[in-house]
Amino acid sequence: MKTFDYLVLGSGLAGLFCALKVAAHGRVAVITKKQRAESNTNYAQGGIAAVTSKEDSFEMHVRDTLAAGAGLCREDIVRSIVQEGPARIAELIEYGMRFTEREIPDSNGARELDLGREGGHSKRRILHAKDVTGREIERALLAATEAEPNITILEDHVAIDVILSHKIGMSGPPRCVGAYVLDRQTGEVETFAAPVVVLATGGCGKVYLYTTNPDIATGDGLAIAYRAGASIANMEFIQFHPTCLYHPQAKSFLISEAVRGEGAVLKNAQGVEFMDAQHPLKSLAPRDIVARAIDSEMKRSGADCVFLDITHKPARFTMNRFPNIYQKCLEFGLDITKEPIPVVPAAHYQCGGVVTTADGATEISGLYAIGEVACTGLHGANRLASNSLLEALVYAHRAAQHAQTHPQPPISGPIPGWQSGQAQNADELVVVSHNWDEIRRLLWDYVGIVRSTKRLLRAQKRIANLQEEIQEYYWDFVVTSDLLELRNIAIVAELIITSALRRHESRGLHYTLDYPNPDPACAQRDTVLQRTAA
Ligand code: SIN
């Protein structure tokens, strides 16, 4: 048994920021599935939304967030996160984050933060590091984390489940006391004991066939929390990013919304700017509207993609502002300064998640959820672009503080080790890969941008069968990371489908042909699911 004061699952912005904050008070283990930088954060291009300019205000940021959230945001939460943003950004800069700056005109060379614009924002307020903001965040926070003697980062470690005191016969009120973790290198399952466990495992984009997310985004923390009995809310609200590069060799490459923020325009194959008829903000309308318009344009015309055109901007500007996108597209033979970029929508962000308090605490004592895995009330039915890294920063800080002010008793007594029973080595790995593919295609085809009750019911039936098969396989065979991820995405799929079937209206990111309008009676009503006791 390995004992720590804090166990943080995930090494993106939320996990690392929280680890750094609690490290002053005890020993911290950061568990990460692959290499330490491999997180959703690392791929974030756009940036962090925060009010830092005189032309902007908290009120405007709150208003934009509420408008995107389509009646489901919790206004008190939105307000407090927006107001706390600048203080957390200042700390991030202290940890070494370098945001892009620009020279202030007529100021003798004085500089200020360069602010980008994205869909749904009424002002320029996105702090960024060119178009590789997430990579720069990871660089800065990993350097700070590695310099902190109280933090141990364990790569190639996959959390299986959290350990609950009442399930192992430990005395005292029920609480979370650690986690079972698979070491991918040795194949051994290790027991980690800790009175505070923080889920910072990111989202679940890999549940869909096409996604902007990296391979690690399999909803692990969400599935772990659900199995442990925590409430999960609003999983029907999956955000599809409108512009993922469409190219046979490109896997999950995002074309940042900041490109539209700088004037790029969506066109169909005939060069028609089809967003003009859809929304006053045209190509810079909120994401749900743009993604649906692209979906409908592709279905109407039978085309495989639409196009994003920034060729009217000076080439030097594009290459300087979007060096990563420019270079990556060039590798695929596409010069974005001269030709439009073929794009399609792809699953991008999970707006729902594990229900938390304003401090990131879940209903299970000692268990916190922060970042994309959590549902705090900020995003409502549709996340405003670049609000997620802001939320991750604020909640990492709050969870760290709450864990200090509400200390858990130390863990008394040993925790039983992982029992693998009669499990054998898996005989046919094809079962795992087949079920993975089936779930991802099923979700893309039946639970995508435009839904219907008939398709959702069909998907529900298939997922139930797959779950049964996966469950048998799980008990019969020794756990591997592929099997663990499969078990997790199957649960995530079930939660998305069940939530979508429960919402009898269209709102924000959830659009269904059977209930095409919002129902005022459903405003402010979350879809909450909780596992019935096993
Ligand atoms: C983007 O760069 O378009 C992604 C930003 C976000 O999802 O918030």
308 CA distance to ligand 1 middle (Å):
15
Secondary structure (3-state) at 28? strand
- Which residues pair with residue 265 across a beta bridge? 309
Which of 152-161, 326-335, 407-416, 511-520 comes out lowest in average pLDDT? 407-416
| pLDDT surpassing 90 at residue 110 | yes
- 367/477: higher pLDDT: 367
Mean pLDDT of 153-179: 96
Query: Residues 358, 342: one domain?
Result: no
Are 366 and 444 found together in one domain? no
Which pLDDT value is given to residue 239?
97
Position 204 in a domain = no
Same domain, 482 and 383: no
Answer yes or no: do 389 and 439 share one domain: no
Residue 209, H or E segment: none
Token pair for residue 439?
Answer: 């779930």
279 and 317, same domain (yes or no): yes
Task: Label residue 430 by pLDDT band (50, 70, 90).
Answer: confident
Beta strand spans in 45-118 (E):
48-49, 101-103, 111-113, 115-116
Same domain, residue pair 252 and 306: yes
The 3-state DSSP class for residue 93 equals: helix
For a mutational test of ligand 1's pocket, the pick from 117, 256, 384, 389, i.e. the residue with the most ligand atoms closer than 8 A to its C-beta, is 256
The predicted structure's pLDDT at residue 419: 85
Mean pLDDT, rounded, for 370-392: 97
- Give 43 Cα–ligand 1 centroid separation in angstroms: 9
Number of domains making up the chain: 3
Please state, in angstroms and rounded to a whole number, the distance separating the CA atoms of residues 199 and 9: 5
Is residue 358 located within the same domain as residue 283?
Answer: no
**What are the catalytic residues?**
287
Residue 10 maps to a domain = yes
Give the type of residue at 19.
A
**Ligand 1, atom nearest to 45 Cα:** 2
Q: Is the CB of 356 under 6 A from ligand 1?
A: no
Together in a domain, 339 and 361: no
**Cα–Cα distance measured from residue 111 to residue 109, given in angstroms and rounded to the nearest whole number:** 6
Biggest CA pair distance of the chain: 75
Shared domain check, 88 and 55: yes
**Ligand 1 atom 4, closest CA:** 46
Q: Which residues contact 112 (CB under 8 A, 6 or more apart)?
A: 101, 102, 104
Q: Residue 133 CA: which ligand 1 atom is closest?
A: 2
49 shares a domain with 120 = yes
**Per-residue pLDDT, 534:** 54
Range of the domain at 468: 429-516
Nearest CA to ligand 1 atom 5: 46
Q: Are residues 125 and 110 in the same domain?
A: yes
256 CB near ligand 1 (under 6 Å): yes
How confident is the model over 203-260, as pLDDT tens digits? 999 999 999 999 999 999 999 999 999 999 999 999 999 999 999 999 889 999 999 9
Mean pLDDT of 178-203: 97
**DSSP state for residue 154 in the 8-state scheme:** E
Task: Take residue 60 and report the two structure tokens written for it.
Answer: 């405007």
Q: What is the C-alpha to C-alpha distance for residues 288 and 235, in angstroms, rounded to an integer?
A: 15
CATH number, residue 87: 3.50.50.60
Q: How far apart are the first and last CA of the chain?
A: 26
pLDDT, one tens digit per residue, over 55-107 is: 999 999 999 999 999 999 999 999 999 999 999 999 999 999 999 999 999 89
Closest by Cα among 189, 171, 176, 89 to 129:
89
Instruction: Inform me whether the pLDDT recorded for 425 exceeds 80.
Output: no
Contact 466, 490 (CB under 8 A): yes
Where are the alpha helices (H) located in 238-306, listed in sequence order? 257-261, 287-301
What is 14-79 written as a DSSP string?
A: HHHHHHHHHGGGS-EEEE-SSSTT-STGGG--S-EE---STT--HHHHHHHHHHHHTT-S-HHHHH
Whether the CB-CB separation of 114 and 122 falls below 8 Å is answered with no
- Domain final residue, candidates 366, 390, 405: 405
Verdict on whether the full-model pTM lies above 0.75: yes
Burial (CB < 10 A; 0-12, 13-18, 19+), residue 374, is buried
- Is residue 411, in this structure, part of any structural domain at all? no
The CATH number given to whatever domain includes residue 485 is 1.20.58.100
More confident residue, 534 or 115: 115
Q: Residue 441: is its pLDDT beyond 90?
A: yes
Q: Is residue 89 part of a domain?
A: yes
Residues in the chain, total: 534
Q: Is residue 220 part of a domain?
A: no
Q: In the structure, what pLDDT confidence band is assigned to residue 533 with cuts at 50, 70 and 90?
A: low
Question: What is the rounded average pLDDT for all residues in the chain?
Answer: 95
Query: Is residue 446 a part of any domain in this protein?
Result: yes
Contact 383, 351 (CB under 8 A): yes
Q: Would you say the CB of residue 385 lies under 6 angstroms from ligand 1?
A: yes
Note whether 296 and 355 are same-domain residues: no
Answer yes or no: is the C-beta of 262 below 6 A from any ligand 1 atom. Answer: no
Residue 237, in any domain of the structure: no
